[in-house]
Amino acid sequence: MRIAYCNVLPALLILQVTFILVKCTDISANLNINLDFSLQKFFTQADIEIDAKLKTVELIKKYKYPVETHFVITKDGYKLCMHRMPRPGAQPVLLVHGLMSSSASWVIMGPTNGLAYILFQKGYDVWMLNTRGNIYSKEHTKRGISDKDFYDFSFHEIGTIDLPSAIDLVLEKTKFQQIQYIGHSQGSTAFFVMCSEHPEYSVKVKIMQALSPTTFMEKTRSAVLKFMSFFKGALSTLLVKLGGYIISATSELIQKFRHHICPASELTSQICGTFDFVLCGFNWNTFNRTLTPIVIGHVSQGASTMQIHHYAQLHKELHFRRFDHGPTKNLIRYKSLKPPSYNLSQTQCKVVLHHGGNDWLASGSDVINLQKRLPNCIESRKVELESFTHFDFIISKDVASLVYNRVIDLVVTN
């Protein structure tokens, strides 16, 4: 039965995604999505073509901001890259990107709408982590390590190993006792994992702000994620079959999306390569089609298939739990048939939740579920624009006024 599932799933996935895109095309065919005036200060057509190809450091240098690159070796041998916009002596703020993203998330929208730039302009020492497996953190101390072994991780390892390593480095370099933390999507997931498994790190954070917090996934609206969760154990086999042990812009899974969906129409072709949007949702009302090359140039930056699988499990299990390896392996790893739930009550630092009304992953009820379990959630804020989606926290043309202004207020007052 598992073999049969894996043979038919690729075609079914393509049909599912095509339906999603056609639906979005129908409701947005008449939208005016020209380049917004507020972005023209930094984005000419030449800028767009150049920025789509630049790496994080090159983007920051292009706009005349200071930047440093730092590396930290984790206890299990991963070499993590961190990008810093340095202000020695200023309060350090750590930014952690979402699934399949990178440090570029915080700078691709330019000095007007990029959170890293805005924080630096306000006088903060900005650090951006690249979690294991993305394009900036693909090295390991073990030479010749296989893809199977290298990508044997989910957001659990990012939370239990990557984040503590990054926080320790920032505190060591800056001589501060505490950081401020801002995470988008998986950047928030991993943070709550860290606090559950290593609560001593909670006291090293003054305040944590979660942009689209993804923990409980019971009410997820991601049709693709819900579809994947249906197949449970067969999903890992499928994902490996389509893309090896990694999902990136060059993996077979992404190539299949592009081949089958891109020719559909001019509108869908603008986002055909963006698996991230198909998984998490998007909003044509706040998306500038002119900037599509920049967005596509900096998404699908690399993730393990286990990361996708872990999120799919969260929907099916209706709990915020560790990775489910199946009853037999669970007994060996966890001493129980089911994986243990993360203990959110260990999150002792101040927490602020920012969520959107049209977020396919972080639904309003799931965010409320999270809020109830946090002992020190000082604010849970729904973005005023009802159609605000998962990726609008990064790429919306109005993200500064709708989200970042409040984020900065909280940074300043804490």
Catalytic one among 185, 196, 229, 363?
A: 185
How many whole angstroms separate alpha carbon 287 and alpha carbon 39? 12
- Is 390 catalytic? The answer is yes
Q: Given the structure tokens 């952690």, which residue do they identify?
A: 96
Catalytic one among 156, 222, 390, 398?
A: 390
CA dihedral of residues 380, 395, 189, 233 (deg, nearest 10): 130
Catalytic one among 47, 51, 359, 392?
A: 359
Whether the Cβ atoms of residue 321 and residue 218 lie closer than 8 Å to each other: no
Biggest alpha carbon–alpha carbon distance for the chain: 60
Whether the Cβ atoms of residue 48 and residue 95 lie closer than 8 Å to each other: no
φ and ψ at residue 156, rounded to 5 degrees: -60, -50
How many whole angstroms separate alpha carbon 142 and alpha carbon 145? 6
- Is 70 catalytic? The answer is no
How many whole angstroms separate alpha carbon 84 and alpha carbon 65? 10
φ and ψ at residue 194, rounded to 5 degrees: -60, -45
- Is 324 catalytic? The answer is no
Nearest to 309 by CA among 367, 371, 253: 253
Active site positions, annotated:
185, 359, 390
